[in-house]
Structure 1
Amino acid sequence: MHRHTIQHCRTCGVTVDHRVPGDGDTRERAVCPACGTVHYVNPLLVVGTVPYLGDQVLLCKRAIEPRHGKWTLPAGFMELGETMAQGAARETAEEAGAEIEMGAFFSAMSIPRVGQVHVFYLARLLHGRFNPGHESLEARLFTESEVPWNDLAFTTVRETLQRFFADRRRGQFGVHDVDIA
């Protein structure tokens, strides 16, 4: 699926070949015929939080594509130079304008079909005031029964919320590793 995302060598600009480079590699890669640079395409990391206040979670209504107008947990692509937790906190501030106390690592969801891994941390909200950024139409608290389950933006959000509420009912939060086909 991702084999032709690189067309030109990032080192010298020559059009790359797509082949198994050798040296024990077993996957087709973008290989520069001029300078020999092997280019790798790796999954993107999406980081976010499950912000909660009492028995409610904070969701953001998306103002951007994909899934404009659908509800999501605050999350986005991790940036270079930040840890997963720093990225998750940054995304929560940017998308929801929420003040949080970062909690424990909660879930990792692999989505090979789109080349992404989504990671969520628990985050206790310090209060119920929000100031959503330009990527969100609104930010609101929901109890489990109020969550707009049919209007969630992503499968990873649904899976994470289901595990959050199940763990909350049990009185103990676990760590969840999920593969989404």
Structure 2
Amino acid sequence: MSNDDHLHIPPDASFSRRIPDQDDRERIVCDTCDYVIYENPKIVVGVVATWDEKVLLVKREIEPRRGYWSLPAGYLELNETAEDGAAREAWEEARAKLAIDQVLAVYSLPRISQIQIIYRAKLSSPEVSAGPESQEVMLFDWQNIPWPDLAFPTVVWALNQYHSIRDQSAFPPFANPLDFRGMI
């Protein structure tokens, strides 16, 4: 249930994009009652999950970037914690059971209106298999990661940031690399 479920918007209501009173940006506004529909960034949650020294990657079955390797990740659902969402995505995409350790990184991607929260996790077992959104699932040694075939810059960031702290028990979360801030 969303916060707006108690609102009754008439079926014949019409909306337009305009700047509401007391605001500074264009929004979707009801032409009859001035109700504002706020459009907010999507939250993506995912994991850098490992078994021993191997990293779990999934080959995407869906667009965007079908056929490229990625971390298990996807959109957070309503009424779900970020940790639960990351674990759910790992199960859906790689049939992976895992224990989340801590937040690895939080990436801000304003160009595509996303916030990505990536966790560090340990697999409970090396038994993984492709879910419906994956063509293939594999555990990679660091030197065998298919770097040219990674789906998104954030996957590269997360893997490199994970690698830099892999032996640390605690660390502050990473953010976008400085040379990429605001570019994606």
* Same fold, judged at TM 0.5 (above): yes
Equivalent residue runs for 1:5-154 within 5 Å: 11-12=9-10, 13-23=12-22, 25-154=23-152
Quick one: distance in 1 between partners of 2:155 and 2:172? Answer: 16
The percent of aligned pairs where both chains have the same amino acid is 40
Q: Which moved more, 1:123-132 or 1:166-175?
A: 166-175
Letter of the structure 1 residue corresponding to residue 139 of structure 2: L
CA RMSD of aligned residues (A): 1.7
Go from structure 1 to structure 2 and tell me whether the alpha carbon gap of 1:60 and 1:160 turns closer, same or farther (over 3 Å shift).
same
Go from structure 1 to structure 2 and tell me whether the alpha carbon gap of 1:180 and 1:89 turns closer, same or farther (over 3 Å shift).
farther
The 3-state SS of whatever aligns with 1:17 is strand
* TM superposition score normalised by structure 1: 0.88
Go from structure 1 to structure 2 and tell me whether the alpha carbon gap of 1:62 and 1:161 turns closer, same or farther (over 3 Å shift).
same
Quick one: distance in 2 between partners of 1:172 and 1:57? Answer: 19
Unpaired runs of at least 5, structure 2: 1-7
Q: Which moved more, 1:71-80 or 1:141-150?
A: 141-150
Unpaired runs of at least 5, structure 1: 1-9
Quick one: distance in 2 between partners of 1:79 and 1:57? Answer: 25
Could you tell me how far 1:154 is from its partner in structure 2?
Answer: 0.9
Quick one: distance in 2 between partners of 1:176 and 1:127? Answer: 27
Contact 1:167 1:174 in 2 (8 A): no
Quick one: distance in 1 between partners of 2:156 and 2:129? Answer: 24
How many residue pairs match? The answer is: 171
